[in-house]
A and B are shown apart, each in its own frame.
Chain A
Amino acid sequence: MSTQRFTLETVATEDNFERVFTFLQTHGQECGLEQALLSKFELVCEELFVNVVTHGSGPAGPEPSFALHLEVDANRVSMTLEDDGLAFNPLEHEVQDLDASLEDRQIGGLGIHFIRELMDDVRYERVGRINRVTLIKRRSV
């Protein structure tokens, strides 16, 4: 199986999440990805996309542009998210205390935990004015 590549370019607004999700679904299924694997990418993608929507623009700043690259081959799936919003490294975010009691459990900080748990490899880099997050998951044979 040769590598298949897909790219979506859009703007990071709440309304566009549906497009991002449909893009992943459509191309993931087209490549024959199992739903269990595809769901992991959907989850991780939602967490990161919402981060860009929430933290990407300054007080009066424009909505960041957003690109999603999906790369599938026989051995692995790789997803890269790029945005030109404010510098933001999601991996520096603290994971909430997962053993806290119901009263003490924090409302935030689950997203980054999801990303770490669900993916095999996660990288963040700031390239010029671009935030780039690359996520890789090996496919079980």
Chain B
Amino acid sequence: METRYDSQDGCTFVSPHGRLDFSSATPFQKEIDEVIANTDEGTKALIIDCAALEYVSSAGLRAFLTSARAAGKKGIGFAVCGLADTVKEAFEISNFGAVMKIVETRDDAVREVGGA
């Protein structure tokens, strides 16, 4: 799995590419922890763009849960966007919509948690 980063309007985007399973979940989590630890004061939100995420298992979902908590502790917004069918199903079954913002597009995410 590969992770790409970019930022826009004070929001940091993290885009996991490929499969987030039990073997890739831990390194992915570490990368996000680092991103959150290194956010500066200008950062309003961390947004995980899942458009290129092909698969997520419960181990992968745990990384999202941990990231949402870490972002909350750091006082920045957190959202997930761009979920494709199979990945969306995993999020829905887990009822993650109750504990984090899940939206369609990057723009939606910026509007929801980018708090201008």
Contacts from A to B (Cβ < 8 Å): 14, 17, 21, 35-36, 39, 42-43, 46-47, 50, 98-103, 105, 107, 110-111, 113-114, 117-118
CB pair A110–B58 under 8 Å, yes or no, is yes
Q: Is B90 an interface residue (CB 8 A)?
A: yes
CB pair B65–A46 under 8 Å, yes or no, is no
Query: Which residues does chain A contribute within 8 Å of B86, judged by CB atoms?
Result: 35-36, 39
Main SS at interface, chain B: helix
CA A100 to CA B99, docked complex, whole Å: 8
Query: Which residues does chain B contribute within 8 Å of A99, judged by CB atoms?
Result: 95, 98
CA A114 to CA B62, docked complex, whole Å: 13
Q: Which residue of A lies closest to B56 (CB)?
A: A43
What is the distance, in angstroms, from A114's C-beta to the closest C-beta of chain B?
Answer: 6
CB pair A105–B99 under 8 Å, yes or no, is yes
What is the distance, in angstroms, from B96's C-beta to the closest C-beta of chain A?
Answer: 9
CB pair B22–A110 under 8 Å, yes or no, is no
Contacts from B to A (Cβ < 8 Å): 21-23, 55, 57-59, 61-62, 65-66, 68-69, 72, 85-86, 90, 93-95, 98-100
CB pair A50–B99 under 8 Å, yes or no, is no
CA A90 to CA B48, docked complex, whole Å: 31
What is the distance, in angstroms, from A35's C-beta to the closest C-beta of chain B?
Answer: 7
Q: Which residue of B lies closest to A117 (CB)?
A: B93
CB pair A43–B23 under 8 Å, yes or no, is no
CB pair B21–A46 under 8 Å, yes or no, is yes
A114-B65 contact, Cβ under 8 Å, with A98-B94, A102-B99: no
Q: Which residue of A lies closest to B95 (CB)?
A: A98
B72: which of A36, A102, A111 is its contact (CB, 8 Å)? A102
CA A15 to CA B72, docked complex, whole Å: 34
What is the distance, in angstroms, from B77's C-beta to the closest C-beta of chain A?
Answer: 13
CA A100 to CA B98, docked complex, whole Å: 8
Query: Which residues does chain A contribute within 8 Å of B59, judged by CB atoms?
Result: 46, 50
CA A27 to CA B23, docked complex, whole Å: 22
Q: Which residue of B lies closest to A39 (CB)?
A: B86
Query: Which residues does chain B contribute within 8 Å of A110, judged by CB atoms?
Result: 58, 61-62, 94
CB pair B58–A114 under 8 Å, yes or no, is yes
CB pair A43–B57 under 8 Å, yes or no, is yes
CB pair B62–A107 under 8 Å, yes or no, is yes
